[in-house]
Structure 1
Amino acid sequence: MTDAVTSELDRLCAEFVAYSRSLDPTFATEVAERLVAFTLNGGARIRPRFLWWAMRASGGTDMHVVGALRIAAALELIQSCALVHDDVMDQSALRRGRPSFHAQIAEQFQSGAPPRERNFSPFAHSVAVLAGDLALSWADDLVATVDVPPPIRADILRIWRAMRTEMIAGQFLDLHGQATSSRSAVKAIRTVCLKTARYTVEQPVALGAALAGADERTTRALTAAGRCAGIAFQLRDDLLGVFGDPEVTGKPCGDDLRSGKATYLLALAHARARATGASDVVDVLQGCRGIGPLSGAELAQVREALQSTGAPAQVERRIERLMRASDRHLTAAAHREGPALRHLAELLRQVASPHQDAKATQPADLHKGMR
């Protein structure tokens, strides 16, 4: 299925690039073609997979495949928009082990400048913002031209519009949490819901169900399961960001701490440390946020401080509760029992799994590819 999505992306993006080239060859080469390469190379195609198996679990047949692939391609393009913009906002030079979009631009046009100056290049950042906007425009074009009956089209467009706004709202809350050094666990969970749970899991599931014309009961059960698993996924990602193996997760340990992200893990640890009067732990947790890369000794100190509060274990317990809730919601869709529903259930479990077996389509690969 992922190969089919990549092939469809390749075909559709070739049309976008051809039109871009008719406008201006430099724009086509430096922005459009680079954006296509960024989209095609890397990623676990996780949102299309949620869309696909939700469509199948909702009774979708071969007649829905063309529409599913087109919407799947749109999901990959809106993900490119999110990643390109996210790297600019986080000033990240790497994405999936390769230079981020703005870093590629800076390397080409400012190769003689020092690395830090290249990463803060106004020109490269501006081009990346335009590229992200272009990816969103292409995604909207694909969804708008899906050939489905009018009632289904209305449902798909409604979900798509909501998902776009939720994604941006979640990104804003993420930035706001960094700027204000938020320690609110409630706000952290709200950010998780909007930025990750709904955009990554719940709404792709909803799109698949809508495409197949699922009844209200099925749609409600599948999307609720997706929401729970999506929250669990981000909580798992927070843990991997501090305690995971960078070779497996694809991102440096402590990266969220470096950028000052207001994660649920950190908010919970702060609350527990303050409640017990552990001022030394509070100082460590406050001092590690937004200070730049952490040394091995500094990261070890932060890990020890987090463990001393019991917050990581509590996050694990919350993940377990969320996944049990996800399973219960899927049980409510038992009238759709079959291989597709089992595939969807397994995919939902994978995104929150603590295991890091890198051999196949494993959770660590999903976490690596979802970024």
Structure 2
Amino acid sequence: MTTSPPATAPASAARNRAEVLSRVEERLKSLLDLEHRRWAEVDHRATAPVEAISRLVRAGGKRLRPDFCVVGFLAAGGTPDDPRVVEAGTAIELLHAFALLHDDVLDGSAVRRGVPTAHVRHAEEHRSRGWQGEPRRYGEGVAVLAGDLAFAYAGRLAQELPRQARRVWAELVGEMIVGQHLDVAVAAEAVADPDLSAYIANAKSGRYSIRRPLELGASLAGGSHLSGAFEAYGTALGEAFQLRDDLIDVFGDAGVAGKPVGADADNHKMTLLVSIAVRDDPAVRELVARDDLPPGELSRALERAGVRATVEHRIDRLVTEAGEALAGTPVDEEWRVVLAEMAVAVAYRDK
């Protein structure tokens, strides 16, 4: 990392931010507990999808998206006691649960946040109890339906938000889902296009993790005047966020990351990191074209190609761009400091 450490955010900003995020956490728990009791009255089997969501939420996670939503709201002049930002923050975390539950099925991931993924856990339950049918299909079915239920809960909360916030929500959801489809499609076709990979990274990850949550929060506080600043900041930091994800997948520590590393490479995902390496290194280009790629081989080739240093330099530049995007904007100084701190935390994390 080559950027200078940001100044420390004022205590009042940190206190307000923490207060709202704590209420988001309480709302998540109360909603899922209530839904569990509701479906338990129907039949004990009916609770499985709710339990899958709850297990994922309880396993931790960075709560990155609610955090950016809350900061966008407070930076736009919102007050910590406004219940709408709590509903928006809860909705966006449930949307994230939906995305993770489906993503783990799409990628065949065995571990998420250090615990077995929903489809793996339910497949094992099917197998151990000797139920009829195929364990894998059963496990994937439960996970997909749990994701659908999380999406329904998120939509239920979002539909009560003001009109402008609902418009931001609709953009966020559409971009994420189409971006996820493109991620699957370019992997299947082995499309090595850095520009397309950058778009996919921003659509399925960067925009929905940073830019749109900021805009969603700001829209609740009537902060449309901050849209331009948040768009520029979120676009730069969103790419840095995805590049760090790519580096963690190739070079990270599975124990720290809480999920297997190397999965994207082994699944032929045409990540932004891989696309850059394919463009610049003939050996990587040749490996990506192979159907019989041994596990770990592409990761080793990426290491030899020196792509890590290239991408780290790009992340440094993007973090700088994110900070510069806020200079001279209507964002108050205290929130520029908070957003600078968040940029460093997002871009230089290890999980």
What is residue 92 of structure 1 aligned with on the other side? 109
Structure 1 residue 111, shift from structure 2 partner = 2.4
Aligned to 1:283: 286
Query: What SS does structure 2 have at the residue aligned with 1:327?
Result: helix
Partners of 1:135 and 1:332 in 2: CA distance: 39
Gaps of 5+ in 2: 1-17
Equivalent residue for 1:265? Answer: 273
Give the CA deviation at 1:112: 7.1
Number of residue pairs matched? 329
Which amino acid in structure 1 is aligned with residue 228 of structure 2? Answer: R
CA distance in 2, matches of 1:178, 1:343: 36
Matches within 5 A, 1:188-207: 188-207=197-216
The match for 1:359 is: none
Give CA deviations for 1:108-136 in whole Å, capped at 9, x if unaligned: 111278xxx85xx1111112111111100
Kept in 2, the 8 Å contact 1:81–1:136? The answer is yes
Sequence identity percentage: 34
Q: 2:36 aligns with which of 17, 27, 30?
A: 17
Structure 2 residue 193 is matched with structure 1 residue 184:
yes
The answer to whether the aligner puts 1:328 opposite 2:293 as a matched pair is no
- In structure 1, the residue matched to 2:339 is 344
Q: Could you say if the C-alpha distance between residues 41 and 243 of structure 1 is closer, same or farther in structure 2, counting changes exceeding 3 Å? A: closer
Contact 1:42/1:96 (<8 A) preserved = yes
Offset at residue 55 of structure 1 (A):
1.1
Partner of 1:130: 145
2:309 partner amino acid = A
Which letter does structure 1 place at the counterpart of 2:210? V
Q: 1:107 aligns with which of 118, 124, 134?
A: 124
**Change over 3 Å in CA distance of 1:156–1:12 after alignment to 2:** same
The CA deviation at 1:291 is 4.1
Q: Quick one: structure 1 residues 338 and 268, their matched pair in 2 at CA, closer, same or farther if it must change by over 3 Å?
A: closer
Q: Deviations over 1:204-262 (max 9, x none)?
A: 1111111111142x222023201210111101221222122333233333221111110
Does the alignment pair 1:60 with 2:69? no
CA distance in 2, matches of 1:130, 1:206: 29
TM-score, length basis structure 1 = 0.82
Letter in 2 for 1:243: F
Q: Offset at 1:290? A: 7.6
- The Cα of 1:173 is off from its aligned counterpart by 0.7
Rounded Cα–Cα distance in structure 2 between residues aligned with 1:93 and 1:247: 13
CA RMSD in angstroms, aligned pairs only: 2.2
| Structure 1: gaps spanning 5 or more residues | 147-152, 275-279, 354-362
Aligned twin of 2:156:
141
In structure 1, C-alpha distance between the alignment counterparts of 2:148 and 2:113, rounded to whole Å: 21
Cα-to-partner distance string for 1:299-345 (whole Å, 9 max, x where unaligned): 674244322xxx33332232222222211211132x43243332122
User: Secondary structure at 1:336's aligned position in 2?
Assistant: coil
In the other structure, the counterpart of 2:12 is none
Alpha carbons 1:259, 1:291 under 8 Å: kept: no
Q: Secondary structure at the match of 1:111?
A: helix
1:322, 1:206 → 2: CA distance? 20
1:37 to partner: Cα distance: 2.5
Aligned to 1:39: 57
Aligned to 2:184: 175
Change (3 A) 1:97 1:18: same
Using a 3 Å threshold, how does the CA distance of structure 1 residues 305 and 133 change in structure 2: closer, same or farther? same
- Seen in structure 2, the aligned counterparts of structure 1 residues 252 and 36 have a Cα distance that, compared at 3 Å, is closer
Cα 1:178–1:215 shift into 2, 3 Å:
closer
TM-score with structure 2 setting the length = 0.87
Alpha-carbon distance between aligned partners in 1 of 2:287 and 2:45, rounded to the nearest angstrom: 49
**Structure 2 CA distance, aligned partners of 1:332 and 1:292?**
51
- Match of residue 157 from structure 1: 166
